[in-house]
Amino acid sequence: MRVVHPDHPLIAHKLTYLRDKRTDSPTFRRLAEELMTLLAYEATRDVRVEPFEIETPVAPTTGIKLSNPKPLIVPILRAGLGMLEGMVRLLPSAEVGFLGMQRDEETLAITTYANRLPADLSGRQVYALDPMLATGGSMADALRFLIDRGASDITAVCLLAAPEGIERLQREMADVAPPVTLVVGAIDERLNEHGYIVPGLGDAGDRLYGVV
Residue 135: phi and psi, rounded to 5, are: -75, -20
CA–CA gap between residue 154 and residue 72 (Å, rounded): 10
- Residue 191, H or E segment: strand 190-191
Region from 65-73, 112-120, 146-154, 202-210 binding ligand URA, contact rule CB under 6 A: 202-210
CA–CA gap between residue 99 and residue 35 (Å, rounded): 21
Q: Are 188 and 198 in contact (CB under 8 A)?
A: yes
Instruction: Name the packing angle between helices 163-172 and 137-148 (round to 10°).
Output: 30
Judged by beta carbon, residue 124 or residue 207, the one nearer ligand URA is 207
Q: Which of residues 63-102 bind ligand URA (CB under 6 A)?
A: 79
204 binds ligand URA (CB under 6 A): yes
169 binds ligand URA (CB under 6 A): no
Instruction: Please give the positions annotated as active site.
Output: 103, 107, 203, 206
132 binds ligand URA (CB under 6 A): yes
Q: Are 190 and 198 in contact (CB under 8 A)?
A: yes
197 binds ligand URA (CB under 6 A): yes
Question: Contact with ligand URA (CB under 6 A): which of 72, 134, 157, 158?
Answer: 134
Rounded least distance, CB 200 to ligand URA, Å: 4
Question: Contact with ligand URA (CB under 6 A): which of 17, 98, 196, 209?
Answer: 196
Alpha helices in the chain (DSSP H): 9-19, 25-43, 81-88, 137-148, 163-172, 204-209
Interface residue list for ligand URA (CB under 6 A): 79, 132, 134, 195-197, 200, 203-205
Residues in the annotated binding site for 5-phospho-alpha-D-ribose 1-diphosphate: 78, 103, 130-138, 203
